[in-house]
């Protein structure tokens, strides 16, 4: 069982980020020790038009591309609107805050503390993944997509 | 005494803009020019230059019943020719877009003939005969009711009006129908339902923040004029709300 006491925060820039900016931000965050889990959230950019008269036709979008975070490649499927983080303790939050204050210069951002991602598997997670599911990965990805989270290894 | 519509209450610039757009006696400022062919491309209902498909024979060739209403109401050009009914749909960002769904519907009802508007929270569709539609669409796009960045011409997948803007100031569009080029000009690369166009259609540069704030018809306490600052508007809305709530009890004004 995950420790529910780990603090969680949410970074909400006042503008939605381009992939290049998101890449810079996430790389900056990846350099911080003490981040346990990280999730990127925003409105989806599907590969094909999901509904309407043009349903099923390809949907080229310049913001749907792969970005590199530390040693990992992440295929963005959303326009980055928020970054949700789970950290080891409150001192990490302050470090993130001071870095973000320098990062967001063209437009403001919000750093909110609260509960933003799952800390324990729900009944549905149990039904979906069984009793032996890795609880640290539960709730990190869209279960309908079937892709697992990307693991970023940082130099210790 | 002849009835003179007031169009709406309010003392703020937003209220003034609302009245201006609705009042057919006021000419809307032309901000950009888009060719007829470009409009046809964005709408995506027919190929540019092709004949208008028809839903029925022209009225002149039809036997019209002897109806007094038909003698009073003159048909529009599209109705006269028997055009199909087609649509244009707009999504307006809440961040100071120059128009918004209810406003659009009121405006169109005051200004245009032979239309069927549909109003929703984040989008507004207007249906009419194809020939008329192209004329109306041109007016809606070329005048101050449109902003290339904050207004989207979206037939389907309209999501984005209430989202934060992108870094470059564009309203979110899942299908990325319009893109902001390096030259600062917004171009439509897909038609309103998301089918790629053969050539990009330029609709001009996004308006600056100051212009948007002066021309918007949306109250927004963070980026524009706050609703609560327009006391006359609030008073009016509260009066309507109060009266309609009391309606069942036979309201009498004190």
- Domain ranges (residues) in chain A: 8-129
- The chain-wide mean pLDDT, for chain A, equals 89
Domains in chain B with CATH codes: 13-249 (3.90.320.20)
Contact between B149 and B169 under an 8 Å Cβ cutoff? The reply is yes
pLDDT band at A142 (very low <50, low <70, confident <90, very high): confident
Residue B168 C-alpha, separation from nearest chain A C-alpha, in angstroms: 9
Tell me how far the alpha carbon of residue B104 is from its chain's centroid: 4
Burial classification of residue B54, based on how many CB atoms lie within 10 Å of its CB (0-12 exposed, 13-18 middle, 19 or more buried): middle
pLDDT digits (tens, 9 = 90+) for A99-109: 999 999 999 99
pLDDT classification of A51: cutoffs 50, 70, 90: confident
**Angle A90-103/A19-30 helices, nearest 10 degrees?**
140
Handedness of CA B93, B94, B97, B102 (dihedral sign): positive
pLDDT at A59 over 80: yes
The helix or strand, by DSSP H or E, that contains position A90, with its residue range, turns out to be helix A90-103
Q: Residue A62: pLDDT above 50?
A: yes
Q: Which of B157, B160, B167 sits opposite A51 (nearest CB)?
A: B157
- Does residue A156 carry a pLDDT above 60? no
CB contact under 8 A, A61 and B174: yes
Q: Which residues of A touch B193 (CB under 8 A)?
A: 52-54
- Closest by Cα among A93, A122, A76 to A34: A93
For chain A, state the CA radius of gyration. 17
Per-10-residue mean pLDDT of chain B, 254 residues long, equals 90 96 95 95 95 94 90 94 96 95 96 96 95 96 96 93 94 94 95 93 95 95 93 95 82 64
Model pLDDT, residue A3: 53
Q: Left if phi > 0, otherwise alpha if psi is -120 to 50, otherwise beta: which for B151?
A: beta
pLDDT of residue B251: 60
The C-alpha atoms of residue A146 and residue A34 are separated, in whole angstroms, by: 27
Chain B residues bordering chain A (beta-carbon distance below 8 Å): 155-157, 159-160, 163-168, 172, 174-176, 179, 193-196
H or E segment to which residue A28 belongs: helix A19-30
Interface contact B172-A43, CB threshold 8 A:
yes
Among residues A8, A18, A13, the alpha carbon closest in space to that of A82 is found at A13
Min CA distance, B223 vs chain A (Å)?
Answer: 12
Top-tier CATH class for A8-129: alpha beta
Give how far A26 is from chain B: nearest CA, Å.
16
């Amino acid at each position: 069982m995950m420790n529910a006491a780990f603090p969680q925060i949410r970074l909400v820039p006042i503008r939605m980020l381009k992939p290049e900016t998101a890449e810079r931000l996430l790389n900056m965050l990846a350099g911080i020790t003490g981040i346990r889990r990280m999730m990127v959230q925003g409105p989806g950019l599907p590969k094909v038009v999901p509904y309407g008269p043009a349903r099923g036709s390809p949907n080229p979008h310049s913001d749907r591309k792969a970005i590199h975070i530390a040693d990992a490649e992440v295929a963005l499927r959303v326009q980055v609107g928020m970054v949700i983080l789970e950290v080891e303790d409150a001192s990490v939050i302050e470090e993130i805050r001071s870095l973000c204050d320098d990062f967001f210069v063209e437009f403001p951002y919000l750093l909110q503390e609260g509960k933003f991602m799952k800390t324990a598997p729900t009944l549905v997670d149990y039904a979906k993944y069984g009793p032996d599911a890795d609880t640290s990965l539960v709730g990190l990805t869209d279960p309908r997509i079937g892709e697992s989270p990307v693991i970023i290894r940082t130099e210790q | 005494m002849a009835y003179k519509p007031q169009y709406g209450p309010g003392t703020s610039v937003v209220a003034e803009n609302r009245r201006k757009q609705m009042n057919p006696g006021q000419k809307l400022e032309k901000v950009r020019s888009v060719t007829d062919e470009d409009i046809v491309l964005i709408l995506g209902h027919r190929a540019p230059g092709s004949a208008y498909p028809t839903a029925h024979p022209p009225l002149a060739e039809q036997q019209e019943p002897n109806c007094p209403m038909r003698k009073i109401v003159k048909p529009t050009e599209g109705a006269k020719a028997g055009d199909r009914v087609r649509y244009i749909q707009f999504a307006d960002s809440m961040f100071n877009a120059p128009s918004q769904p209810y406003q659009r519907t009121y405006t169109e009802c005051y200004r245009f003939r032979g239309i069927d508007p549909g109003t929703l929270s984040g989008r507004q569709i207007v249906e009419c005969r194809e020939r008329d539609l192209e004329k109306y669409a041109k007016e809606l796009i070329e005048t101050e009711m449109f902003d290339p960045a904050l207004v989207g011409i979206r037939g389907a997948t309209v999501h984005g009006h209430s989202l934060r803007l992108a870094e470059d100031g564009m309203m979110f569009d899942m299908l990325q129908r319009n893109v902001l080029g390096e030259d600062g000009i917004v171009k439509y690369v897909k038609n309103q339902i998301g089918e790629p166009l053969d050539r990009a259609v330029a609709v001009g540069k996004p308006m600056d923040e100051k212009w948007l704030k002066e021309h918007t018809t949306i109250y927004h306490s963070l980026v524009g004029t706050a609703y609560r600052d327009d006391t006359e508007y609030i008073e009016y809305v509260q009066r309507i709300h109060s009266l309609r709530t009391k309606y069942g009890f036979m309201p009498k004004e004190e």
